[in-house]
Structure 1
Amino acid sequence: MTTSTKLAPTPVIDETARLITEHYVFPDIAEQVAGLLRERLADGAYDTDSAEALAALVTTDLQSVNGDRHLRLKYHTEPVPPKQDAATLKAIRRDFDTSLGGAPRLQLLDGGIAVLELAPMLFPLEWAAEPLTAALTLASRAQALILDLRDNRGGDPDTVAFACSYFLDQRTHLNTMFWRNGERSEQSWSLPHVPGGHFGGSKPLYVLSSRSTFSAAEELAYNLQQLGRATVIGESTRGGAHPCNGWTVHPHLEATIPVGRAINPVTGTNWEGTGVQPDIPCPANDALDRAHAMALTRLAD
């Protein structure tokens, strides 16, 4: 159950508009979004004393300009500190410790086919390298692998590259991140060698997706799909390709603002707004059965 928190909307909107103008990856769009917020404030659209209600109203307006799913005013039930690093890290660490390091399920199905679930997120690589190495090493002995990202909400791009490395036979350019105003860019590549067992680049690989799959989990699915390495099965993902930072604008409100954009070297674009489109569309609940059946057929052939 959530609680309502009274507030004055004007300082929240003013600060959110300022942060967007200064930090959003697309400066021209930033001016449009900030202008929209100020117009809506003047029109009385944000006349509420509930932080939760204001978050919903502002997020709808933020995303109405260009559909950026990472551009949000996020409501927190518990107060967030002005500098959120410690609190955010504590919450992420709790999720890490209760999910076996982000690999909560590894199961061997009929036909020598393994399913590995990565959830609830792709944790920072300094934490996740050990549990992922253990899980991927065990999975490397399978005849085919189903990678379940249906409940993965995102995470660390370095962990994406680390995971991709287990499914490729040579060092491969995965993604390029461009920051605001094109001042600098960073390329992401798979590793030339991985610790533990290597699944390799030839055995059948399937990725399960859902409407909840988001951000870095989408990148993992998109990278493998566009390289022709994996078949994506399930639902279109949420469509968030822009890395973002968060700023506290009220004790219960966080403005999350994209500060960069990802460009895939194969497509020259990304999955922002559209989501990763599955090769085999089906309800998320049916995706595992579909993938298992496809793997059995392929191995039989």
Structure 2
Amino acid sequence: MSRFFQRLTFVLAATIFAALGLGFALGEFGMFGVHAGGEQDGAYRQMHVYAEVLKRIQSDYVTDPNIDRVTTGALHGLLESLDSDSSFLTPTEYKIYKDRPTTGVAQVGLTVSKRYGYATIVSVVPGSPADREHLADGDVIESIGDTSTRELSLAVIRLMLEGKAGSTVTLSVVRPRKPDPDKVTLTRTITPAPVLREQQYENASILYLKPGALTVPRVDEIAAKIKAAGKSRKILLDLRDNSEGDPDQGLRVANFFINQGTLAVLEGQRFPRQTFTADPSKFLTSAPVAVLVNRGTYGAAELVADAIEGSKRGDVVGERTFGEGSVQKTIELPDGSALLLTVAKFQGPDGKKIQDEAVAPTVIVGQAAEDEVDADENPQPNKGDEPLNKALELLKSKNG
């Protein structure tokens, strides 16, 4: 084997074994003289396969290939075959990732993940540039500028969507039931988080809350509203298109409604198992509760819905959620590149992993219309919002 392919195979091997948490050095691999055993045999043998594939690409491909690009593509595919959150970052990408600003960054108003290899919109911030261009949950971002999102890791996609206020980014967007992609140019801006929406239904016997995000200040607001409502007021928590928030705050919200028992579990192959148990001192209400979810319900909001459903505390109404509940570890590699590797996943009280199965509602109702909730003191339910109507119907039938 040529020295070139030995070096190239080493890069792939280093990445794989770093991901597996195994030690390595150039002289350790079987192809260079070592004989591995046990469960590692399969991984070691694959190094020979990678080497042969790369050799054939260079010798037999129709044109002289760009091996650096081939290798980077292979590493992207390797990590994304695990899950959408695991990423490989080249040395240049990783430097940008490390040096990115943490405050004052302008956005286009999108939460994105990857599905079927391409960037997919999870949710859209109301009033944002993306909202004004009518982008919606489930739309696929085929490319950013001239680069296909299939060739980009999720971390890089998110970096490309943010930038300086006033700068622009052009997306090629594929919408449901529309064969040809639309070119959309968005101007990045600093968009404030949606405000907490509050409404009263059924002669003020039901308190409707739509937080928009589950950040510390917003969860503080939710707690204040529940306390002010009293222990007999039924709660309708609307977590549709709620994709921003911290897992700790999601568990905190769940604890408002659950007095005892397991809220969630976080574990991984080498990640110490953590069991999150309800704290009775943080419990706020035993009144009936219902939660609205859709495919834009993501992350921390899914922890809330899963805990309430899994503990049989209340009804979860709407559509299956997106499926996001994991922890990533950054692993730096010798050449300056890095892995963002999923090392643990959340599971609900029922033992199902949110990342793998999402949260299936107890009552399935199709996507709501985009009508706003009426602002009257005791409004009639929106005729176009079937999930909202169903949740209100369920709560109305329960004794407070």
Pairwise TM-score range, normalised by the shorter structure: 0.5 to 0.7
Counterparts of 1:208-219 in structure 2 under 5 Å? 208-219=292-303
3-state SS of paired residue (2:199): strand
Report what 1:276 is aligned to.
359
**Residues 157-205 of structure 1 deviation map (CA, whole Å, 9 limit, x = unaligned):** 221222122112x3432222224425x222212222239xx2x22x221
* One of 107, 110, 113 as aligned partner of 2:199: 107
CA distance in 1, matches of 2:395, 2:343: 39
Report what 1:161 is aligned to.
251
Tell me, yes or no, if the aligned pair for 1:114 and 1:144 is still in contact at 8 Å: yes
- Asked if 1:295 corresponds to 2:392, the answer is no
3-state SS of paired residue (1:284): coil
Tell me, yes or no, if the aligned pair for 1:81 and 1:87 is still in contact at 8 Å: no
CA distance in 2, matches of 1:160, 1:73: 28
Tell me, yes or no, if the aligned pair for 1:82 and 1:247 is still in contact at 8 Å: no
Q: For residue 134 of structure 1, what is the amino acid of its counterpart?
A: A
Tell me, yes or no, if the aligned pair for 1:177 and 1:185 is still in contact at 8 Å: yes
CA positional deviation for 1:140: 4.6
Counterparts of 1:189-268 in structure 2 under 5 Å? 189-194=277-282, 198=284, 200-201=285-286, 203-245=287-329, 256-264=340-348, 266-268=349-351
CA positional deviation for 1:232: 0.8
Bigger shift: residues 254-263 or 206-215 = 254-263
**Higher-Rg member (1/2):** 2
CA positional deviation for 1:224: 0.8
CA positional deviation for 1:87: 2.7
CA distance in 1, matches of 2:365, 2:338: 35
The alignment-based identity, stated in percent, is 20
Q: How many residues align?
A: 260
Counterparts of 1:65-84 in structure 2 under 5 Å? 68-72=83-87, 81-83=96-98
CA distance in 1, matches of 2:75, 2:200: 45
Tell me, yes or no, if the aligned pair for 2:247 and 2:299 is still in contact at 8 Å: no
Report what 2:381 is aligned to.
none
TM-score, with structure 1 as normaliser:
0.65
CA distance in 2, matches of 1:290, 1:282: 8
**Residues 199-252 of structure 1 deviation map (CA, whole Å, 9 limit, x = unaligned):** x22x22111111121222211111110100021111111122322246799xxx
CA distance in 1, matches of 2:279, 2:300: 17
- Flag the 1:206–1:22 CA change in 2: closer, same or farther, 3 A: same
**Residues 231-288 of structure 1 deviation map (CA, whole Å, 9 limit, x = unaligned):** 1111111122322246799xxx996431212243x42332222211111111231321
Report what 1:147 is aligned to.
237
TM-score, with structure 2 as normaliser:
0.51
Tell me, yes or no, if the aligned pair for 2:327 and 2:344 is still in contact at 8 Å: yes
CA distance in 2, matches of 1:271, 1:73: 23
- Asked if 1:186 corresponds to 2:286, the answer is no
Report what 2:220 is aligned to.
130
Tell me, yes or no, if the aligned pair for 2:329 and 2:341 is still in contact at 8 Å: yes
**Residues 74-118 of structure 1 deviation map (CA, whole Å, 9 limit, x = unaligned):** 9xxx9984426x7346559x9999236xx6212212342122113
Task: List runs of 5+ in structure 1 lacking aligned partners.
Answer: 1-9
Tell me, yes or no, if the aligned pair for 1:82 and 1:248 is still in contact at 8 Å: no
Across the aligned residues of Structure 1 and Structure 2, the Cα RMSD in angstroms comes to 4.6
